[in-house]
Amino acid sequence: MKEKIVVKNLTKIFGNQPGKALEALKKGKSKADILNDHKQVVGVYDVSFDVHEKEIFVLMGLSGSGKSTLERLLNRLHEPTAGEIIIDGKDITKLNTNDLREFRRKHFCGMVFQNFAILPHRTVAENVEFGLELQGVDKDERREKAMKVIEQVGLTGNENSYPSQLSGGMQQRVGLARGLSVDAGIMLMDEAFSALDPLIRRQMQDELLELQDKMQKTIIFVTHDLDEAFRIGDRIAIMKDGRIEQIGTAEEIISKPASDYVRAFVEDMNRAAVLTAGAIMQPTVEIAFPGDGPRTILRKIRKNNLTGILMTDTRRNLKGYIRARELVDYLNKHKEEEKVPFDNSLLHMPSTVTPDKSMTEVMNIYNNTEFGPIAVVDEDNRLQGVIAKGNIISALSQQDDEMIGQDKNEDD
């Protein structure tokens, strides 16, 4: 994947003696100590990360965690104290004022703010044109572009309204449109939906994802809301005290929190909505094949302490599920026979699910399942893994990954 933004060892210290604070930081002093001893505020310290082209990268943290500061460092609204920011191969920390201005115009869709930051004396259309106007695009051309974007964000008919006549959600659409009207690759969004009420907020998140499908921007989205982060973020960076605690997808962060802080943070998360079947499924310990005789199959089951076993062909196409109890009964019936053939009546079709389904759906399926684990299969019915009751419970109760691993496919 192409890296759009590469950030290396980025540090921002607010105050008049950043050098002293930097030294103290290197000696391992905490943010609070530095504020006390040197009266310098550490905004961001030694942060490194990459943002892939066309992904939604979320900076998540509580207030004071440095997430907004970090975002403002990316377009140098804040001057970095140390470190590099490489955007499209260019280190922007080295640009002079004029080059920086040009760079912002070419590479950034401005910024979208929590309080919208649209101009009260301008109409919607005039606000949307703002970025183009600064670049000196002529009047007809910029109006044409603006109208196109206004349509995309669903503001058609309001282009001549003033911001004070619009609701919060509509005003933020103007903010969004203003950014999108500029032909640039990176969109910075700072708590963009945090001032909106929950319903509108959710709607805007959906619309952003929809727009992103079409527009394909690289979006850096700052939020303090974990639900929002997990909902829209391709990857999420969780920040604390000016540092990044963990970067990863929602599933990675939930299933493998990198620190106690992250663990505590994701504790309240509605895990069922975030985790997918793919994240909680386990690899099958043993599989039966159509050529196996009943005794072989029973041996496989016994060896692994299972209550049943899945059967696939050699290309892992799912054939069915064999219950240990039925198999034992069947073998008892045919005790006398030298060679017992496998009877297809032993084979039951288990419930299946694709890896991208959420845990909520998995639980629904589980509730309607009469027997066996849930088989996770891809679109071609090839077996990927299994989900047993134990997997669901431990995933929900947020146990460590290895704990889930210890669970066998005990069910029935």
Partner 1 sequence: MFPFRIPIKDWVSAAVDYLVSEFGPVFDGFSAFIYFLVNNLKDGMLLMHPIILIVLIAALTWKLAGWQMSIFALVGLLITENIGLWEPFVETLALVLTAEILVMVVGLPLGIYAARSDRFNSIIRPVLDFMQTMPAFVYLIPAVMFFGLGLVPGVVATFVFALPPLIRLTNLGIRQVPHELIEAADAFGATPMQKLLKVQVPVAKPTIMAGVNQSIMLGLSMVVIAAMIGAGGVGTNVLRGIQRLQVGEGFEAGLVVVILAIILDRLTASFGKTKQTG
Task: Give the footprint of partner 1 on this chain (CB under 8 A).
Answer: 72, 75, 77, 101-102, 104-105, 108, 110-111, 113-115, 117-122, 130-131, 133-135, 162-165, 178, 182, 188
Q: How far is the CB of 98 from partner 1 (least distance, A)?
A: 9
Task: Count CB atoms within 10 A of the CB of residue 172.
Answer: 26
Closest to partner 1 by CB, 115 vs 304, is: 115
Report CA torsion sign: 313, 319, 324, 329.
Answer: negative
Residue reference for tokens 């964000």: 153
Closest to partner 1 by CB, 166 vs 388, is: 166
Q: How far is the CB of 39 from partner 1 (least distance, A)?
A: 19
Closest to partner 1 by CB, 19 vs 157, is: 157
Q: How far is the CB of 137 from partner 1 (least distance, A)?
A: 12
Task: Count CB atoms within 10 A of the CB of residue 106.
Answer: 13
Closest to partner 1 by CB, 134 vs 349, is: 134
Q: How far is the CB of 117 from partner 1 (least distance, A)?
A: 4
Q: Round to whole Å and give the CA distance between 372 and 358.
A: 19
Closest to partner 1 by CB, 46 vs 133, is: 133
- 363 in Cβ contact with 369 (< 8 Å): no
Report CA torsion sign: 265, 268, 274, 275.
Answer: positive
Q: How far is the CB of 33 from partner 1 (least distance, A)?
A: 29
Tokens of 363: 């639980």
Q: How far is the CB of 280 from partner 1 (least distance, A)?
A: 41
Closest to partner 1 by CB, 57 vs 103, is: 103
Closest to partner 1 by CB, 106 vs 303, is: 106
Closest to partner 1 by CB, 218 vs 391, is: 218
Task: Count CB atoms within 10 A of the CB of residue 99.
Answer: 12
Q: How far is the CB of 187 from partner 1 (least distance, A)?
A: 10
Q: How far is the CB of 108 from partner 1 (least distance, A)?
A: 6
- 71 in Cβ contact with 188 (< 8 Å): yes
Q: Round to whole Å and give the CA distance between 239 and 61.
A: 5
Closest to partner 1 by CB, 56 vs 182, is: 182
- 49 in Cβ contact with 244 (< 8 Å): yes
Q: How far is the CB of 121 from partner 1 (least distance, A)?
A: 5
